[in-house]
Amino acid sequence: MIDPKLLRTDPDRVRRSQQARGESVELVDEALAADEARRTAINSFETARAEQKSLGAKISRASGEERGALLARTKELSAQVKQLQAAADEADAACTEVFKRFGNIVFEDVPTGGEDDLYVIDTVGTPRDFDAEGFKVRDHLEIGEGLGAIDMERGAKVSGSRFYFLTGPGALLEFALIQFALHKAMGWGLTPVIPPALVNPAAMEGTGFLGQAAEDVYYLERDNQYLVGTAEVPLAAYHSDEIIDAADLPLRLAGFSPAYRREAGSYGKDTRGIFRVHWFDKFEMFVYCRPEDAVEEHQRLLAHEKEFITALGIPFEVLDVASGDLGLSAARKYDCYGWVPSQGRYREITSTSNCTEFQARRLNIRLREGKQVRPLATLNGTLCAMSRMILMILENYQQADGSVVVPEVLRGYMGGTEVFHPVGQEG
């Protein structure tokens, strides 16, 4: 959630953030009214409760008529305090619900716009000129099926549309990517974590995935649990309701988990192949740090993503994501878009977000620095989304005969294999 003090002291800042997001500016006035109602209700309760406590001390010293009057007032106050406490609790709950409707406060230098506004801030690598090489580009599915690496037909048979099997070279590529990602993460000082892929509602709501993203989430009604769409969720909730000593920060994690997404609203989009699917495996980086260190940590995560993609030899662009496409929790987000030869354009493969104190406030995660206890900051970043990275490798390393050259950095994780050949052309 946003900081209530910011709303009270600088409501125009919150209004500018709402406007940048394309969200309701009127919500600011609604929240101010709800906050005032909460504080008034709490003050009334605390005033009556203080009088109730003071009467207890007076009764022990009183006698006669005075004692009787005090006892009568105590009885009257007891009922009043209960009513005021209920009113305060109700006002607090109502105010919290209003505050939950706010997205994080957008940094003022984030470019404005929406999903279709792409602000490229860096370009790394040069796409191959397949025309100059003299052969027609195939898409990843045609290549993958030729290699015996991807089986969409049986994925649909077993699990439905947007599911798949990775077989042979496809499975080997994922295992190699997992090992390479783990190697890089540990070299950067990240602690490996394998978190649960099922979480409780508090974890999902606390990370901000039951707001704008709720329609993309798989919910298991019988168990009242959710399948995660990213390891960000359990990694963020890992320290919920805890206080972390500032001396132990930053905490830098790399979590590996399956990711499940309904892809609601994507009907007709990317229906071919494994770019937009309902399940994939992913390495996710996550950081807890002091709020004043968050911008630096965000740049560190972006640098990790760029180093990883560059090592795989995939041409890519870095985007400063527009304010209207940040999602609920991010104050700033950078995306890396890899080159897809068959589409002649760059497509998203990683994302890293600075969530400032937003998730920590919702999950009640704080830091202790001396005598001060305050919310910390959280950040996340994709290290490797397996299905999309496999797509990138198949398309960018394809050869005229349908074979695929294995990126050099992955060969040591698959017994030195240098080339995947089409089925029937091995050896």
Separation of CA 231 from chain center? 8
Amino acid at 283: F
Cα separation of 109 and 104, whole Å? 14
Is 61 assigned a catalytic role?
Answer: no
Is 4-99 in CATH node 3.20.20.210?
no
Amino acid at 137: V
Is 21 assigned a catalytic role?
Answer: no
Contacts of residue 105, defined as CB under 8 A and 6 or more positions apart, other chains included, come to 2, 6, 13, 14, 17, 331, 356, 358
Report the chain's terminal Cα–Cα distance, integer Å: 58
> Residue 358 in contact with residue 1, Cβ under 8 Å?
yes
User: Exposed, middle or buried by CB within 10 Å (0-12, 13-18, 19+), for 35?
Assistant: middle
Integer CA distances (angstroms), 347 to 307, 317, 318, 344, 397, in order: 18, 9, 11, 10, 17
User: Mapping DSSP to helix (H, G, I), strand (E, B) and coil, where does residue 10 land?
Assistant: coil
Buried b (16+ CB within 10 A) or exposed e, 55-86: beeebeeeeeeeeeebeebeeebeebbeebbe
pLDDT tens-place values along the chain, 427 residues long: 899 999 999 999 999 999 999 999 999 999 999 999 999 999 998 888 887 777 665 665 556 656 667 666 777 777 888 888 899 999 999 999 999 999 999 999 999 999 889 999 999 999 999 999 999 999 999 999 999 999 999 999 999 999 999 999 999 999 999 999 999 999 999 999 999 999 999 999 999 998 767 888 999 999 999 999 999 999 999 999 999 999 999 999 999 999 999 987 777 788 899 999 999 999 999 999 999 999 999 999 999 999 999 999 999 999 999 999 999 999 999 999 999 999 999 999 999 999 999 999 999 999 999 999 999 999 999 999 999 999 999 999 999 999 999 999 999 999 999 999 998 776 5
Which candidate in 38, 162, 300, 388 is catalytic? 388
Q: Which residue has the tokens 């099997």?
A: 165
Contacts of residue 382, defined as CB under 8 A and 6 or more positions apart, other chains included, come to 282, 283, 284, 285, 305, 349, 350, 351, 352
Separation of CA 360 from chain center? 12
**Could you state, in order of their start, the residue ranges of all structural domains in the chain?**
4-99, 120-420
Which candidate in 348, 369, 374, 403 is catalytic? 348
Which candidate in 38, 162, 261, 366 is catalytic? 261
Which candidate in 276, 290, 374, 411 is catalytic? 276
Question: Tokens representing 227?
Answer: 């399948």
* CATH architecture designation of domain 120-420: 2-Layer Sandwich (3.30)
Per-residue pLDDT at 105: 97
Which DSSP category does 422 fall into? P
Q: What is the 3-state secondary structure (H, E, C) of 62-83?
A: CCHHHHHHHHHHHHHHHHHHHH
- The two beta strands, 243-245 and 366-369, are parallel
Question: Tokens representing 48?
Answer: 């009556």
- List residues bridging with 284 in a β-sheet: 255, 382
Cα separation of 201 and 194, whole Å? 20
Is 351 assigned a catalytic role?
Answer: yes
Type and span of the H or E element at 296: helix 294-311
Which candidate in 44, 257, 351, 387 is catalytic? 351
Number of H helices, E strands in the chain: 14, 18
Dump the DSSP string for 97-163.
Answer: HHHTTPPPPPPTTSPP--TT---EEEEES----HHHHT-PPPPHHHHHHHHT-EEHHHHHHHH-TT-
Question: Tokens representing 341?
Answer: 């030869």
Is 348 assigned a catalytic role?
Answer: yes
The rounded radius of gyration (Å) of the Cα atoms in the chain is: 27
What number of CA atoms fall less than 13 Å from residue 194's CA on the CB side? 3
> Considering only CA atoms, which of 206, 356, 391, 197 is closest in space to residue 284?
197
φ, ψ at 388 (rounded to 5°): -70, -35
Peptide bond into 291 cis (omega under 30): no
Per-residue pLDDT at 82: 86
Is 252 assigned a catalytic role?
Answer: no
